[in-house]
Amino acid sequence: MDTRSRIGVVPVEKQKTPYTLTAILKRLFPYFIAEKNRFLLTFVFVGLKIASDLFLLLMCRSILSVIESWVKGNARGGAHSIAYLVSHTIAMDTSSFTAADLPWLVGIMGSVVIAFFSVGYFRSFIPAKLISNVTFAMRRALYDHLQCLDLFFFDRTRSGEITSRLISDISQGVQVFGMTLTIFIFQLIVFCFSVVFMTRVSVPMTLLVTSVGVLILINMLLFVPQLRDRSLAVQKKLGVISGMANERFGGIKVMQSFTNEDMELERFTEQIDNHRSLTINLARLSSFTGIFSQSIPLVGNTAILGMGAFLVLSGKLTLADLTFLWMMRDHILNPFQIFSNLGEQVAIGLGGLERVFEFFDERSSIKDMPGAVPVKQVNGAVEFRDVSFSYPSERGQEVLSHLSFRVEPGMSAAFVGASGAGKTTAVDLLSRFYDPTSGGIFIDGRDIREFEVESLRDNIGVVMQEAILFSGTIRENIRYGRPDARDDEINAALKMANAWNFVAEMREGTETVIGERGVMLSGGQRQRIAIARAFLKNPRILVLDEATSALDSVSEHYVQEAIERLLKGRTTLIIAHRLSTIAHVDKILVLEKGRLVEEGSHTELIAKNGTYAAFHAQQFGKGKGA
């Protein structure tokens, strides 16, 4: 199954930023719908919470009306049924209530309070679980999508930037919009019902309270766009800082060996100082918006209380009605206040999710062609036909230029050339990490673009110059080459890679945890684990970036012996750094500025006395190794 077709990774035309709120909600909606049961339960408990909340206020009005009526010498008569009290409370018709109804009204209110707490718990817990599940699904989808992107994307994107969007931006964005959705709906419904109930008591008071809320809303509309832009700038700078820190601490040995701590601290200080300035600017605007939002309700409350007192004194309101309106005013103003406060949070969430969907909208240039087929059986003939390649950022500057050669099944070929000659690029093209700008690459006479990418890579093994291992156990790292491998197959691969002896000496054996990037192992041990992984994969074609140049003589012996076993019966392309390791190969391909300038065996090229012979003389001295 093509992982790009899963939820959240549906191919769309790449959008231009900024993303609108509507566009973001539209992209988020499928994730929430996938949790439809919790999604619906959220609305059910929101409705119950609203009902219990408003009913409590109506019950307060009924109780106060009875008390006020009794003080005036009224409220005489017998008690009414619970159904009668509830229905007339909702209808706001309390004129017939008596003092005898008071115990029942208090009892009903107590029951509703108990229900209020129960409903409130589920109204908070269910949305929280919903948000956790949506965050999980969205992170998984983005991680899955990122794995499908070509190396062009990773060449131009810092690892810290990727981590920031995958972890913090998704978490923050989903949290904001998930809670915003329930809070918005909750407050909107509360507002509508509150307006209805307040209007039945006093239209002037309702209009006054609503007008105060409108002022709060205007404040939000004026400042939220600015908050969003500044928030986005802060988050982008944070991504740069995260990437810089990851990069520098990943190369801490280099930094310390060159004693560049002061220089790196100065660079880091410059970045975090820029981030501080952006954060302060955001805080300045946020603080001004916040205090302005808080001042409007204070002034409004003064006006509301003043008008209410006037209406009571003029006989147009009862004291119970004024108390009810005063409590109900929060249900009118709170939605506006919450919308105002949510504006800042929405701006932050919008900025984060915008960055997340930018990654979702990235499309890989390396994908299965229409009608692509799996690789069924590989003999191992590799052929480059007039292959040229240039990176998108360097159009016009070819890394490879009209490269043509052929390696027969089971034969070995080594690329030789100065740094930047195109050796690594050539083998990257074979695995379709990139596609040629022109020309074609063929395996057994068939263009590799006709094969499914995953199937093609399953038949090519890669052993890099710097062994890439992952945090975890030795067993997990070797099984990475074939996840369904049995323990006896893993042990056999270790023996073939000359790694069994040192692994067996470890107390935990293959269950030994090797740390991030295999830091608990020596360089030679890491290389042998990587070779064992290649043995386990058992590919028909092998790409070998010469892995012994940085090893001591003992480690080099073990690694070289393991490599010689690995090469047997496989078509092998080698990136050569030391000519002493490739004298035995069947064919040597000499590259210079992306062009093939010489081709032949070691003996043939030495006799030719050309570029390869010059390289050989530089490493061994003239006349050696001929």
**With bands split at pLDDT 50, 70 and 90, how would you rate the model's confidence at 598?**
very high
Instruction: State whether residue 545 is helix, strand or coil.
Output: strand
pTM for the structure as a whole: 0.68
pLDDT at 338 over 80: no
**With bands split at pLDDT 50, 70 and 90, how would you rate the model's confidence at 183?**
confident
> Which pair of structure tokens corresponds to residue 72?
């005036």
State residue 14's pLDDT score: 46
Across 183-187, 194-198, 393-397, 450-454, least confident range: 393-397
Across the chain, mean pLDDT equals: 83
**With bands split at pLDDT 50, 70 and 90, how would you rate the model's confidence at 1?**
very low
Q: Give CA separation, 345 vs 173, 236, 315, 365, in Å.
A: 9, 17, 44, 36
Q: Phi/psi of residue 122, each to 5°?
A: -70, -30
> Which pair of structure tokens corresponds to residue 119?
């409903």
Q: Give CA separation, 258 vs 34, 243, 246, 261, in Å.
A: 53, 21, 18, 8
Residue 338 exposed, middle or buried by CB count within 10 Å (0-12, 13-18, 19+): middle
Average pLDDT value for residue range 361-383: 89
Angle between helices 487-496 and 523-537 (to 10 degrees): 120
Q: Show the domains of the chain with their CATH numbers.
A: 19-360 (1.20.1560.10), 382-620 (3.40.50.300)
**With bands split at pLDDT 50, 70 and 90, how would you rate the model's confidence at 448?**
very high
State residue 622's pLDDT score: 56
Give the whole-angstrom CA distance, residue 114 versus residue 55: 13
> Which pair of structure tokens corresponds to residue 187?
């407050």
pLDDT at 174 over 50: yes
**With bands split at pLDDT 50, 70 and 90, how would you rate the model's confidence at 592?**
very high
| Alpha helices for 417-473 (secondary structure H) | 423-430, 453-458
> Which pair of structure tokens corresponds to residue 82?
């619970």
State residue 552's pLDDT score: 60
Instruction: State whether residue 80 is helix, strand or coil.
Output: coil
Read off the pLDDT of residues 265-283 as tens digits, 9 standing for 90 and up.
888 899 899 999 989 988 8
State residue 13's pLDDT score: 40
Average pLDDT value for residue range 524-544: 87
Write the DSSP symbol of residue 585: S
pLDDT at 402 over 90: yes
Task: Answer whether 526's CB lies under 8 Å from 469's CB.
Answer: yes
170 against 471, higher pLDDT? 170
Strands 400-407 and 382-389: antiparallel
State residue 450's pLDDT score: 92
Across 316-320, 342-346, 458-462, least confident range: 342-346
State residue 582's pLDDT score: 84
Q: Which of 211-220, 299-308, 421-430 has the highest mean pLDDT?
A: 421-430
Average pLDDT value for residue range 482-501: 89
pLDDT at 3 over 60: no
Give the whole-angstrom CA distance, residue 87 versus residue 542: 81
pLDDT at 588 over 80: yes
Read off the pLDDT of residues 433-442 as tens digits, 9 standing for 90 and up.
999 999 999 9
Give the whole-angstrom CA distance, residue 432 versus residue 427: 9
Q: Tokens 């030679």, residue?
A: 524
Across 151-165, 290-304, 436-450, least confident range: 290-304
State residue 10's pLDDT score: 34
**With bands split at pLDDT 50, 70 and 90, how would you rate the model's confidence at 331?**
confident
State residue 5's pLDDT score: 35
Percent of the chain with pLDDT over 70: 92
Task: Answer whether 360's CB lies under 8 Å from 8's CB.
Answer: yes
Give the whole-angstrom CA distance, residue 436 versus residue 448: 11
Which residues have a Cβ under 8 Å from the Cβ of 17 and sit 6 or more positions away?
Answer: 354, 358
State residue 597's pLDDT score: 94
pLDDT at 9 over 60: no
> Which pair of structure tokens corresponds to residue 526?
């890491």
Task: Answer whether 136's CB lies under 8 Å from 178's CB.
Answer: no
State residue 549's pLDDT score: 55
Q: Number of helices (H) and strands (E), helices first, in the chain?
A: 20, 10
